Structure 1
Amino acid sequence: MSKTPTAAAYLTELAARMGRLIEENSDSIAAAADAVERTAKADGLVYIFGTGHSHNMAEEAHYRAGGLALTVPILSTPLMVHEGAVASTAFERMPGVIVPVFEHYPMGPNDVLIIVSNSGVNTATVEGAQLGKARGATVIAITSVEYSKQAARGRTRLAEVADIVLDNGAPPGDAIMNVPGSELRVGPISTSIGAALMNAVFAEVAVRLQSSGTDAPIYLSANMPGAKEVNDALIARYRPRNRHL
């Protein structure tokens, strides 16, 4: 018997949900890979945006060993949690707050915008998707369809705006483990599954590019042989268009 039964149950359930992702999102993963591949071949960029904890997805892809160098994180301190978590919750609900943020990121028709929001209803993420579409970018949402339907209460949902929806399958509230003797739940899954979905798409694209004779722009871990030369070349290529390099 496990010494940590709740931890074991959480990891087992998380692994099971991970294993169902390709079946439950097969068409959406293929569509997302098609969009990112087109962007890569057009020398476009993949912008990634989220508020609160969802902003971690933007940083997950940024300058990532084994990741695509064409990714650009959209980062705005007031919408993140590290300098004011309570304030960020208020800011992400404010109409218009995203407009000056997106002015720093000149996305266009050759680009992809990935927006991550588990609840899928906060104003900044929905307006961000609308701005991306207005600029001609292909908008991919990573969200919980079930949670967003429950949370919407008449509001526009990210899943309704996006061109492609990757459903993380998280339940309302995100957490999957009951806490005995209470109504509480623990063990969120949206970050783990969101990162898996995003990296699955990027892995598919990287192999497609190499197979078609196009060099995939992949960062190497700094401790791998030849990493400096490879990464320096990618930085020189993308730094003029990625303000975070």
Structure 2
Amino acid sequence: MISTVADFHREVAGRLDTLAQRAADGTFDPAVDLLVNALEAGGVIQAFGTGHSEAFAMEIAGRAGGLIPTTRIALRDVVLHGERSVADLEGATMERDPDIVAELLAASPLHPEDVFVIASNSGVNGSIVGLALAVKERGHKVIAVTSMEHTMAVPPKHPSGQRLADVADVVLDNLAPFGDATLTLGEKYGAGAVSSLTAAFIAQALTLGVTERMLAAGSVPPLYISANSPGGDEHNHALEERYRGRIRRSG
């Protein structure tokens, strides 16, 4: 039996309870406003994260129960849809490189009404802050999902001296501790990382908020159903067709 699982459960459950209360208190409403406004204007939701934060983007874009007008931006797009080699994906070099942003944007289908949701636990790496700055300069709204405890405890790495939280229009705290690990095993071994779990909860809370808002307005929310359900492919493909050339599901 792994006795520390109960401790980890308490750490996770406590944070999820806090996030649920914040959602109930309206903390997420400004982010939902930006998402709904973008969709009503004909935009799509652009989700971006590197490293483990890419899991957040996967929760936003292209999954059952999620919104169809969404796209996941990933660093490998500059290989799949740009001119970079696969070898460039090794290590964390691109994640920390602010100059990769121009290539990312060139490889991405963008519309002036799109809104960006960017996740980064540390909120300081070059590609993360660089993308946020670049899309803000283009007039897009940015929602950040980050650990405020961690990001404020480390120096900015972007040449601008800014963090993701400094650039975003709305900041949502994923409540992860500094270093992400919630438990200390032995005298010094950190384990029990939590940011992926809390970020996934935030992603689903945003999706639910947008869906509720659209239903309240009398609109039909464009949601995926499981491709493994009867009629799933037909339903999903019909709605995806509305956004042909605007959303990407490969990669």
TM-score w.r.t. the length of structure 1 is 0.90
1:101 paired with 2:104, answer yes
Q: Which runs of 5+ in 1 are unaligned?
A: none
The equivalent of 2:203 in structure 1 is 198
Count of matched residue positions in the alignment of Structure 1 and Structure 2: 240
CA drift at 1:219 = 0.3
Decide which moves more: 144-153 or 190-199: 144-153
Q: Distance in 2 between matches of 1:28 and 1:115?
A: 17
Q: Distance in 2 between matches of 1:216 and 1:96?
A: 37
RMSD of equivalent CA atoms: 2.3
The equivalent of 2:74 in structure 1 is 75
8 Å contact from structure 1 (residues 140, 165) kept in 2: yes
Instruction: Check 1:79–1:8 CA distance in 2 against 1; reply closer, same or farther (3 A cut).
Output: farther
1:146-225 map, 5 Å: 146-152=149-155, 155-180=161-186, 182-225=187-230
User: Which secondary structure does the structure 2 equivalent of 1:159 belong to?
Assistant: helix
CA drift at 1:76 = 2.1
The equivalent of 1:13 in structure 2 is 11
8 Å contact from structure 1 (residues 33, 205) kept in 2: yes
Instruction: Check 1:153–1:33 CA distance in 2 against 1; reply closer, same or farther (3 A cut).
Output: closer
Q: Distance in 1 between matches of 2:22 and 2:95?
A: 29
Q: Distance in 2 between matches of 1:172 and 1:123?
A: 19
8 Å contact from structure 2 (residues 146, 172) kept in 1: yes
State the one-letter code of the partner of 1:48. Answer: A
CA drift at 1:88 = 3.6
The equivalent of 1:126 in structure 2 is 129
Decide which moves more: 159-168 or 129-138: 129-138
Q: Distance in 2 between matches of 1:45 and 1:184?
A: 42
User: Which secondary structure does the structure 1 equivalent of 2:145 belong to?
Assistant: strand
Q: Distance in 1 between matches of 2:31 and 2:207?
A: 9
CA drift at 1:38 = 0.8
Q: Distance in 2 between matches of 1:239 and 1:184?
A: 48
CA drift at 1:191 = 0.6
User: Which secondary structure does the structure 2 equivalent of 1:125 belong to?
Assistant: helix
Q: Distance in 2 between matches of 1:187 and 1:114?
A: 25
State the one-letter code of the partner of 1:118. Answer: N
- 1:46-79 residue CA offsets vs partner (Å, 9 max, x unmatched): 0001111111222232321100001100022289
Instruction: Check 1:86–1:104 CA distance in 2 against 1; reply closer, same or farther (3 A cut).
Output: closer
Q: Distance in 1 between matches of 2:108 and 2:75?
A: 11
The equivalent of 2:39 in structure 1 is 40
CA drift at 1:29 = 0.7
- 1:126-151 residue CA offsets vs partner (Å, 9 max, x unmatched): 01100111111110000001100111
User: Which secondary structure does the structure 2 equivalent of 1:220 belong to?
Assistant: coil
Percent identity between matched residues is 37
Instruction: Check 1:128–1:14 CA distance in 2 against 1; reply closer, same or farther (3 A cut).
Output: same
CA drift at 1:86 = 8.7
Instruction: Check 1:12–1:164 CA distance in 2 against 1; reply closer, same or farther (3 A cut).
Output: same
Decide which moves more: 183-192 or 69-78: 69-78
8 Å contact from structure 1 (residues 146, 170) kept in 2: yes
Corresponding residue to 1:234 among 233, 239, 243: 239
Instruction: Check 1:85–1:52 CA distance in 2 against 1; reply closer, same or farther (3 A cut).
Output: farther
User: Which secondary structure does the structure 1 equivalent of 2:42 belong to?
Assistant: coil
Instruction: Check 1:76–1:239 CA distance in 2 against 1; reply closer, same or farther (3 A cut).
Output: farther
- 1:92-139 residue CA offsets vs partner (Å, 9 max, x unmatched): 112311211111224344211011100010011001100111111110
